[in-house]
A and B are shown apart, each in its own frame.
Chain A
Amino acid sequence: MLFNSIAFALFLPTVFALYWLIGRERLRAQNALIVAASYLFYGWWDWRFLFLIFVSSFADYFIGGRIPVATSPKSKKLLLVLSLVINLGILGFFKYFNFFIDSFDALMQSAGLHVDVPTLRIILPVGISFYTFQTLSYTLDIYRGKLKPSHDPIAFFAFVSFFPQLVAGPIERARDLLPQFSAPRTFERDKAADGLRQMLWGFAKKMIVADTMAPHVRAIFDNAAGLDGVTLLMGAFFFAMQIYCDFSGYSDIAIGTSRLFGFQLSRNFAYPYFSRDIGEFWRRWHISLSSWFRDYLYIPLGGSFVTKSRQMFNILVTFTVSGLWHGANWTFVVWGALNGLYYFPLMLTNTQGRYKEIVAADRLFPPLGELIAMLGTFLITLLAWVFFRAESVSAAVAYIFRAASTPWLNLDHVSYLRVIPFAILPLVVEWFRRTREHGLEISDMVQPLRWVTYLLVVTAILVFGKFGSHEFIYFQF
């Protein structure tokens, strides 16, 4: 079920009403309702997907319960490996089977060998990359002794399938979200109101900005070979805004929705395009995923407690794997590796953790040096986004090469000029709200002004937003 659909508009108030009518004293009933609603939400796409999430949930609930009582460290490890095999096996099969077959076939052909390996027609279940990582965090944290296993299967199933964040995150850690299912939730008016505001902002970013960018991005990337440099640069910029508004919009809706039910999800985006270096960017972009890879891949590889060269290798591996997580295509692998390479200068100068606070937190505009740093960081992320969006690595290289080498004064891009305000608007709004959790966090305004703002945003969505089955980009991951 899409957030931007009439089905969800009917689903959400119904579940909300039933949830609070059940009451906070009847915790198990509330959790059971969440499981039922979440399975309905997820099964709306395809009921067959429910089987996989059930298997993943059941397996990790069972394994998580056995790990602490395992008789030996070897048994514990075996159980963890079993969890990894099940979850990564499901993920690997549904997401990467054909990719590896095709890559193997291409490799054999380049060596002059003909190998006829059949590919399968496999449907990619929506959100599989997200919930498998979420359940893995459960077994991994239990193995590490950071979490006690849950003895409430309903709470656990609700944790795995929680509909606001099921299909596109944030990827919640079991130690953060699972306890919330085991404790009574309280309806807090201010949090719920801000949750609605955050949802509204998410819908605005998705429906007005991301979906407006989408056809222009498609047109530019599909016809890159015949376009001028400025248009190609605009295409990359439009895609940067499309993917940001699409993904952060979804996260805003997810976080806002969960607050209606008394839950607090992790922040997933913290104005990444205002970053001054790549280190800051990755502390602000898809935070739940980057922190997951930091904790469960980078640190186990040695993290920062190894030699500099090994650290750099670890970063490169982590980002490359992160790229592969995004999709079964070499473009994502290159995108990830490129971001890993971007880290090298910071690691060599030990400045990767330099920027902690948001830029110009106590002033209107940043100093010139930081402004230049922001623009530079934005440009290198644009370069990487080209790989993320392109159909193939060679298409991405051709795109970049053409953007750099074609005449820059060609006026063919005139038709795209009217789209630029849509692309810039969220940056402007979020710049002025950058010390807040989200762009529409306006609780400090007087009520009449807040309501006028809401009216204008809703009207803007109706007049400029795109209706129809425009899926969120990250559903394909």
Chain B
Amino acid sequence: MMRFVLKVGLFLVLLAVFLEVFFRLVVPAASRPTTVQNQVYGIMQYDRTGPTQGLYTAGRQAQHRAHWRVNNMGWISAEDYTGRQEKCRPRAVVIGNSYVEAIYLDVDKHLAPVTRKELGRDVDFYSLGAWGVDLGQGVKVTDYAREVLGPDLVILVVSHGALRRSVRNLANRPFCLQVEFRDDDALAIEPRVFRPSRLRGLVQFSATLGYLRGNAHVTLGGGAQVESAFAKKTLDVENMTPAQAREQTLMSKGAEWIVSRLAEQNPGTEFLFLVDADRNIIQTGTKPLPIPAAGCLVAAVRGRDAFHVLDLTEALWADYEAEGLPLSDDGNYHWNAHAVQVIGAALAQYISQNELLSSFDRSQ
């Protein structure tokens, strides 16, 4: 019996070694940069002390591959950034979550470099994306950007749920800045201190665990994670249930709070909310209504000259109608490279038409 157990144990060790080699060389497991919390600003960035380059893969056979890079300031970018003192041309920053971090795309295909290329001008276009950053947390990233980078234009990407998750009454995001409404008071909930677990370190070290988690999407519960980016059906604003109406009210108040705070703390800076469209519906061949966040933000920025909202529904629908190309890849609800190209072009056009990066302020 002991011999049997020892043999099984030996086989398991051999299996572990084999799988580590296999998932590094043959079917490379998804690797991700290590997330760390910037304690000064309370925001998530990427660790520069560990590997600063890697290969992200997706799919069970790692059929989808993209290279990532952590730059000098701890952001996912092909280029290094210069601080506000070294700024010598108009500067925009794009702030957001995994749509901006875009680790599933090669770094040169991210929104920031694509938009800069579309602009065709000599401007800085910096990407400040981190997985899980909702709109409320974008306020804190803006604080960082203002002090470290001095942008003239701040673009905040609003994906589905990013506004909703900024309101504590609707969702709990402990590592993000949120606002909680208690009667008529708006209480800012600061992000908690983030302490990475050792288990996470083990998962990142082991290619096999990385594969199971990142490619096979196996969870501890034994199931596979199911990704869902959009609500099952579009909100019918004419026939909302009481719960939906309450949610919309809270989101509107959340949008107001975020815009007010941005305006107070960033005088002279232009802001643009870049709102995603319901691509699930677009890809069924139907033009959708804007996602709920769009209406809340449009109302919140009304009367504020420095604030803009660009709803991507028109641009993405027009492209899909004309080209019929998918806007996200199988098994990944984020923008694919084609969608980023379309969005970059629309963003560049909007910036040019509204002269949002026509000059820069050295004092910013």
Q: Using a CB–CB distance below 8 Å, which chain A residues touch chain B? A: 2, 4-7, 20, 187, 189, 192-193, 196, 451, 454-455, 458-459, 462-464, 466-469
A7 contacts across to B, CB distance below 8 A? 222
Contacts known (A462-B212, A463-B27); A189 close to B18, Cβ less than 8 A? no
B220 contacts across to A, CB distance below 8 A? 6
Look across to chain B and name the residue whose beta carbon is closest to the beta carbon of A192.
B4
Q: Does B186 interact with chain A (Cβ within 8 Å)? A: no
Look across to chain B and name the residue whose beta carbon is closest to the beta carbon of A447.
B7
1/0 per residue, CB under 8 A from A, across B52-94: the answer is 0000000011000000000000000000000000000000000
CA of A5 to CA of B219, assembled, Å: 10
A451 contacts across to B, CB distance below 8 A? 11, 14
Interface residues in B16-57 (C-beta closer than 8 Å to A) = 18-19, 22, 27
Q: Min CB distance, B209 to chain A, in Å?
A: 11
Q: Using a CB–CB distance below 8 Å, which chain B residues touch chain A? A: 1, 3-4, 7-8, 11, 14-15, 18-19, 22, 27, 60-61, 211-212, 216-218, 220-224
CA of A187 to CA of B4, assembled, Å: 10
Within the complex, which residue of A6, A459, A463 is in contact with B18, where a contact is CB–CB below 8 Å?
A459
Within the complex, which residue of B19, B217, B221 is in contact with A6, where a contact is CB–CB below 8 Å?
B221
Contacts known (A192-B4, A469-B223); A464 close to B60, Cβ less than 8 A? yes
Contact assessment for A467 and B224 in the assembled complex, using a CB-CB cutoff below 8 Å: yes
CA of A451 to CA of B17, assembled, Å: 13
Contact assessment for B211 and A462 in the assembled complex, using a CB-CB cutoff below 8 Å: yes
Further pairs besides A2-B222, A6-B220, A467-B217: 7, Cβ < 8 Å: A6-B221, A6-B222, A192-B4, A193-B4, A466-B224, A467-B218, A468-B223
CA of A229 to CA of B308, assembled, Å: 55
Look across to chain B and name the residue whose beta carbon is closest to the beta carbon of A189.
B4
A189 contacts across to B, CB distance below 8 A? 1, 3-4
CA of A4 to CA of B11, assembled, Å: 20
Contact assessment for A458 and B15 in the assembled complex, using a CB-CB cutoff below 8 Å: yes
Contacts known (A454-B11, A464-B60, A467-B216); A20 close to B18, Cβ less than 8 A? no
CA of A219 to CA of B8, assembled, Å: 41
CA of A455 to CA of B10, assembled, Å: 13
Of residues B8, B60, B216, B222, which shows the largest number of chain A Cβ atoms within 10 Å of its Cβ?
A: B222
B4 contacts across to A, CB distance below 8 A? 187, 189, 192-193
Contacts known (A451-B11, A464-B60); A187 close to B1, Cβ less than 8 A? yes
CA of A7 to CA of B223, assembled, Å: 11
B11 contacts across to A, CB distance below 8 A? 451, 454
Contact assessment for B15 and A455 in the assembled complex, using a CB-CB cutoff below 8 Å: yes
Contacts known (A189-B1, A455-B15); A196 close to B8, Cβ less than 8 A? yes
B19 contacts across to A, CB distance below 8 A? 458-459, 462
Q: Min CB distance, A8 to chain B, in Å?
A: 8
B218 contacts across to A, CB distance below 8 A? 467
Look across to chain B and name the residue whose beta carbon is closest to the beta carbon of A458.
B15
Q: Min CB distance, A423 to chain B, in Å?
A: 18
A2 contacts across to B, CB distance below 8 A? 222
B216 contacts across to A, CB distance below 8 A? 462, 467
Within the complex, which residue of B7, B18, B223 is in contact with A467, where a contact is CB–CB below 8 Å?
B223
Q: Min CB distance, B221 to chain A, in Å?
A: 7
Contacts A/B (CB < 8 Å), 29 sampled: A2-B222, A4-B222, A6-B220, A6-B222, A7-B222, A20-B1, A189-B4, A193-B7, A196-B8, A451-B11, A451-B14, A455-B15, A458-B15, A458-B19, A459-B18, A459-B19, A459-B22, A462-B212, A462-B216, A463-B27, A467-B216, A467-B218, A467-B222, A467-B223, A467-B224, A468-B222, A468-B223, A469-B222, A469-B223
CA of A6 to CA of B220, assembled, Å: 7
Q: Min CB distance, B43 to chain A, in Å?
A: 34
Look across to chain A and name the residue whose beta carbon is closest to the beta carbon of B218.
A467
Contact assessment for B223 and A463 in the assembled complex, using a CB-CB cutoff below 8 Å: no
CA of A359 to CA of B60, assembled, Å: 37
Look across to chain A and name the residue whose beta carbon is closest to the beta carbon of B60.
A463
Within the complex, which residue of B1, B7, B18, B222 is in contact with A455, where a contact is CB–CB below 8 Å?
B18
Contacts known (A455-B14, A462-B216); A468 close to B224, Cβ less than 8 A? yes
Look across to chain B and name the residue whose beta carbon is closest to the beta carbon of A452.
B18
CA of A454 to CA of B216, assembled, Å: 20
Which are the 8 A-B pairs with shortest beta-carbon distances?
Answer: A468-B224, A6-B222, A5-B222, A467-B224, A468-B223, A189-B4, A187-B1, A467-B218
